[in-house]
A and B are shown apart, each in its own frame.
Chain A
């Protein structure tokens, strides 16, 4: 038995799983449309709910400041609720893939959310989970162009990349207050989200002129007309700005999404994420062609990826990210991640997943920059990060401890892929839990 599909294209086998005999691209593709009640249990409060709470919270803070009220806030105070929501958002980052049935969908949701990174900036952390749902999850089985458009307009992205501060210098607001452009969103849209290469600084500035005045609200795209920069803009050799700005931005997204540079960039992302830090050139080429041929239809690309021989290569070339690693550990042992007061977890706060991930190098929702979490193994392999992985392996093994046979868990999580050396090592431990810890802490289990 070889659980390769679950390892390479999911979060690893889960205790109690059976099947997974042969590698079947069709089964992975079927996940894209299959229901997943286990994942749905982690659906988070939507953007409108959060916005309403934030508005109430702001009003409450103002009132307390004005009246000098220092009394305790009760559990239902909007500030408390928001705090809880954000804490649960962070937990869901790990617990959702632990529970989910359709691991490929979860991997894709995280991949796209990372490609179009939004991180914590001020209060905007609360908008991250809505972004992940409304942009990444909503479009992962659709066209890349639609995902790009949703991302560009999403309030989380607008805040994260300072779009609010970008004012057309010749707009009424710009002229009156002497304000100007902020190129942050325009630049990252071209550099990180779409093309990566093939544009100039002039394109960035012109795009920033086009984007000035974007002001989405609860209903989607909208404008602050006072900040819209008048006049024509030339971007990638095409003229924009003669029509309604929202329509023009729409057209711009279509133009950018159709560029060969964007196709190559998306192709490389998929190949590098799922196959290897240094993916086969023919796979990247096949994905690029599929993108151009199918108009950026993402399932078509997934199919090309899964049908390529590299998808079935028994050599696991990629290192699991901390999130993927933690989720795989918990799944392997049938843990939910909410276990508390377990032996070996000194204290009754369970796995403290946000802290554990931070130590492994992935502070949840706080990547270093808009380029998101790294894709290359070396970036996850500093000695303290490795130490944190071993710590987590020990914690997880202790939590499941006495009931697990190390060799049986090895069969479950790696099957035929487990090397003789690994089998020897997990049997060589004196205690069951330690055998499991050796398995989870092994280089083979850290890979996918």
Chain B
């Protein structure tokens, strides 16, 4: 009952229930003074970058992933080393048009613990510490960045949704917003139908239960999951065409210890849907937009014994948008030979994940190096510009 479900109160519950509780999505916006737009998608649960952006050209890759590769073989070629997971096929045209790219083997300074909770906090806070600590303020790097953007008006942000994301929390007021579905029966329409079905012994009980499903918000299995993500993209776009310039939301469900082929094969198309619907709905403004996905860490180079992968270190960041200098792999490739792995198990990080959003904030919103290294990402060495932006 997605259409009836999409009320202010239930949208997020529904999106989560649709993924059987594992892919709750939270949306947070903030306003800013620039025409540029930054969308950060948090992929919670640690997405397996080695499956999503497959180094098929690396001689050690196939040997590390026999089961996963037999279940979902191949991929769409990106360059002579990498191929895109088949379930992300919908994004392949964006690679070809230069609107999609990735950086592999990235990690936070938090590396050895491999805890989701610490890792997610560290990612959203922008922690530079090896233990991932976030400090007493528990604020997010996007919030601190917004505080530094000239002309940003964090106070005009909207607040919608169940939980707030730490990445957007802090001293600067930011919006918290929730998409509302317009296309549903009014309370009156519903009650008219209710009266008709109530008199019918055949359809009556099913109709009453269906309405209860709708109002209970996510107790039943919500089937129109894919549309939720279209809608999310469209509503995001609507906000970004208004005052919002910086948005963040979370897609959960990437902790694929088993049945990875199935799980990741379900989630990747949803990610693609959000990005593509955002792109379509933004129209020209897509040309002033950058989308970054981030995950707390990567997963083991070698598949485990249950058709999955375990917590690792080096992960992948995906990037999309009209501002992107796309169609290319950013950063170096550490290789997958056993001696090249971290602790002989994880993809060796070649770079600090935080450098990419830092340089993006600089290019899009004019933040200064010192602000980025001291306030937004304390302790970061900004280093050379990776050249993400056109």
Contact = CB atoms under 8 A, between A and B. Distances in A.
Q: Do A and B come from one complex?
A: yes
Interface of A: 70-72, 319, 343-348, 355, 358-359, 377, 381-388, 390-391, 394-395, 398, 421-422, 425-426, 428-431, 434, 437-438, 441-444, 446
A65 to B, nearest CB: 9
Given A387-B210, A388-B223, A443-B196, A381 B202 contact: yes
Nearest to B205: A381
Contacts of B2: 391
A355 to B, nearest CB: 7
Nearest to B56: A70
B307 interface: no
A347 B230 contact: yes
B186 interface: yes
A429 B189 contact: yes
Contacts of A421: 195-196, 199
A328 to B, nearest CB: 15
Interface in B72-86: 74-77, 83
B74 A359 contact: no
B130 interface: no
B220 A383 contact: yes
Given A72-B76, A388-B223, 13 more contacts: A346-B183, A347-B230, A347-B277, A355-B226, A381-B205, A386-B206, A387-B210, A387-B214, A387-B220, A390-B3, A425-B196, A430-B189, A438-B193
Given A72-B76, A394-B184, A430-B188, A384 B226 contact: no
Nearest to A319: B202
Contacts of B224: 355, 359, 391
A437 B184 CA distance: 10
Given A383-B210, A384-B213, A429-B189, A390 B199 contact: no
A377 B202 contact: yes
Nearest to B74: A70
A70 B193 contact: no
Contact of A384 (B75, B188, B196, B210): B210
Given A346-B227, A387-B213, A441 B193 contact: yes
A428 B192 contact: yes
Contacts of A387: 1, 4, 210, 213-214, 220
A393 to B, nearest CB: 9
Contacts of B338: none
A70 B200 CA distance: 58
A394 B213 contact: no
A443 B197 contact: yes
Contacts of A348: 280
26 contacts: A70-B75, A71-B77, A72-B76, A344-B183, A345-B183, A377-B202, A381-B202, A381-B206, A384-B220, A386-B203, A387-B4, A387-B214, A388-B223, A391-B1, A394-B184, A398-B183, A425-B193, A425-B195, A426-B192, A428-B188, A429-B188, A429-B192, A431-B186, A434-B185, A438-B196, A444-B196
Nearest to B181: A346
A394 B186 CA distance: 11
Contacts of B196: 421-422, 425, 438, 442-444
Interface string B200-230: 1011111101101110000011011011001
Given A344-B183, A384-B210, A391-B224, A446 B203 contact: yes
B209 A386 contact: yes
B5 to A, nearest CB: 9
Contact of A443 (B56, B203, B213): B203
A203 to B, nearest CB: 38
A422 B195 CA distance: 9
Given A70-B83, A428-B188, A430-B188, A385 B193 contact: no
A446 B200 CA distance: 11
A380 to B, nearest CB: 9
A286 B188 CA distance: 48
A386 B207 contact: yes
A210 B234 CA distance: 60
B291 interface: no
B231 interface: yes
Contacts of A430: 186, 188-189
Contacts of A426: 192
Contacts of A398: 183
Contacts of A344: 183
Nearest to A356: B224
A366 to B, nearest CB: 15
10 tightest Cβ-Cβ pairs between the two chains A and B: A387-B1, A383-B209, A387-B210, A443-B200, A386-B206, A381-B206, A386-B210, A344-B183, A443-B203, A425-B192
A394 B221 CA distance: 20
A42 B227 CA distance: 28
A69 to B, nearest CB: 10
A249 B200 CA distance: 49
Nearest to A318: B202
A382 B223 CA distance: 13
A39 to B, nearest CB: 30
Given A421-B195, A429-B189, A390 B1 contact: yes
